[in-house]
Amino acid sequence: MDSEIFYKSASELDSLLDSGKLTSVELTKAVIERTRSIDAKLHAFISFDEEKTLNEAIQSDMRRKTGEKLSNLDGIPVGIKDLISERGQPLTCGSKILGGYVSPYDATVIERMRNAGCVLWGRLNMDEFAMGSSNENSYHGKVANPWDISRVPGGSSGGSAAAVASGETILALGSDTGGSIRQPAAFCGIVGLKPTYGAVSRYGLVAFASSLDQIGPMGRSVEDVATLFHVISGHDDKDSSSYPVDKTNHSMESVKNKRIKTIGIPSEYFGEGLDPEIRQTIEDAINFYKNAGHRVKEVSLTMTEYTMAVYYIIATAEASSNLARFDGVRYGYRSERAKDAVDLYYRTRGEGFGSEVKRRIMLGTYVLSNENFESYYLRAQKVRTLIRNDFMEVFKNVDLLITPVTPSPAFKIGEKSADPLQMYLSDIYTISINLAGLCALSLPCGLSSDRLPIGFQIIGKPFHEHEVLSLGYEFEQAHDFKNMHPAI
C-alpha cells in the first residue's frame, strides 16, 4: 500500500476501494497513524474516537463486499469542526465553557454523511465559537500551519484546514461566518467552499451569527469538495433558513463541463494593502482564464468600504444574543466559586469565555442597546441590503467574480494577537460574501517566495455553486497545485 495513501484524493481512494486494492479499515488506520505521528506539532484535533471510527470503516468494507456501497464517499474519512453536533461525541466549540458537553443528537450534515457511508473522524480544533482569523483563540491550544509551524493556519476552521493539508484526514467540514472556510483553505493550500446561505442545513451547528453562518466542505481537490457538497446540501425542514436546492446542478458532470464565462475583477479588491506576490499570482490565474477563452472585465463594487463595519456590527450583535444561553446552569462549565445564582452567571461566563469572545459579546450587547439600536444595528442592516444589491447589480453583467482571499500569506503566530483590528482585516476580502449570502470557492494558485500557499477566490451568484466549482475545476486541471504537500 502507498505509504502516503492519506494524500490521495477521495475520488482516487474510491477507485482503490472499488477495486479491492484498499479497504476502508486500511485507509482509516493510515489516517489515524498519520494523526498520531504529527498532530503534536499541529494540534489540529481536539479529540478523536479511534474505536468508533474504525467500526464505521469496518461497516463500510462490509457494504462494499455485498455490493451495497452507499456513495462515492463510502469509507472515506471526514474530519468534523468542533461546533457541529455528532451524537455521542464531545462538542466544545474550542471553548472552556462547553467542557464535558457531549452531543445528544446528530446535525443534519452528520446524518447525511452517515447515509453516504462517510467515516467520521475526530473533532477538529477551531477559534473559540468560530471567532477568529488565526486559530489562536482556542481554549484547547493554538493550531499550527503544516507549511510552517511557526505560522497560523487561518481561522476559524484552522484545524480543518491543517488536518486536510497534512493528511490527517481526507476531507473535512468547516463553517464560514466571514471567511472561516476560505481563509484557512488559502493559508494551508487546500480547497474550501463557502456555500450559498441556505444551501446546507445549519441544524446542529452551534450558532455564532445565525444570518451569516454556513457549513461547507474542505478538501485537497475541487472534485472532492464538490462531491462532499453534493452529500451535505439540500433542503431540511429542521432549518427554517434552508432552501430547496436542485442537486442535479452540482453533479460532477456539471462541474466538469467547461462553459465560457464572463468573469468580473472588482477593482476595490486589488488596491492598497494587498501583498504584491498575491497580486501577481492572482493576475497570472486571471490571465489563464483569458487565454482559455473566458471574457474578463473590470467591475466596481462601490459598497466594499462599508463591509467591515457592517459585518462587525451584525455579527457581534447576533453573537451576543446566541451566546446568552451559556450560563453554567444547564450544561458545560460551571464556576465553583459562585456565591449565589447571579454570581454563578457572572463567574461562569467570565471564567468560561476567552478574551475574543468576551470582546465580541460586549460589542454586540452595546450595538443592541436601546440607545444604539437604530444608529448602529438597524443602520447596518440597511447597508447590508445595499451591499447585496451592489453584488446583484454587478452579476447582471458578469457570471462570476475573481478576487484575493487574503491580503497576505499566512502570518506568524502571535504577530497580530495584540491588535484585534489588524486581525479583523485578515477577512477583508471574504466577509462581504457572507453579508450578501453568496457562494465562493477558495483554491490554491501558487506559493510565495517563503513557500507559503497563495489562494484565490471565485465568487458566484446565489445557488450557483456548480459554476464556481466548474471554473475552479478548469484551473485545477491545468495546474498541479492540488499535489503540493507541506514537508512537516
Read off the pLDDT of each residue in 26-31 and give the average, rounded to a whole number: 98
Length of the chain, please? 488
107 and 199 Cβ atoms separated by less than 8 Å: no
From 85, 28, 87, select the one nearest 60 (Cα to Cα). Answer: 28
Question: What pLDDT band is residue 252 in, cutting at 50, 70 and 90?
Answer: confident
* pLDDT at residue number 417: 85
Position 257 scores a pLDDT of: 84
Tell me what the mean pLDDT of segment 260-270 comes to: 97
Q: Where are the alpha helices (DSSP H) in 116-190?
A: 158-166, 182-188
* Inter-residue contact 40 to 143 (CB < 8 Å): no
- pLDDT tens, position by position, 404-422: 999 999 999 999 988 888 8
Quote the cell numbers at residue 47. 479529540
Position 86 in a domain: yes
Q: Is residue 193 part of a domain?
A: yes
**Has residue 273 been placed in a domain?**
no
Q: Is residue 250 scored above 70 in pLDDT?
A: no
Percent of the chain with pLDDT strictly greater than 70: 99
pLDDT confidence of 277, banded at 50, 70, 90? very high
Are 9 and 223 a contacting pair, CB within 8 Å? Answer: yes
Determine, yes or no, domain membership for 365: no
With respect to residue 42, please indicate whether it lies within any of the assigned structural domains: yes
> Domain span at residue 260?
5-264+397-483
Query: Which residues have a catalytic role annotated?
Result: 81, 156, 180
Count of the separate structural domains present in the chain? 1
Peptide bond between residue 3 and the one before it cis (omega within 30 degrees of 0): no
> Residue 263 pLDDT > 60, yes or no?
yes
Residue 71 domain flag = yes
Q: Rounded to the nearest 10 degrees, what angle do helices 158-166 and 24-42 cross at?
A: 120
Q: Give the CATH number of the domain where residue 199 resides.
A: 3.90.1300.10
List, for residues 356-404, the tens digit of each pLDDT value: 999 999 999 999 999 999 999 999 999 999 999 999 999 999 999 999 9
- Sort 345 into a burial class: Cβ within 10 Å, 0-12 / 13-18 / 19+: middle
- 426 lies in a domain? yes
Domain annotation covers residue 175 = yes
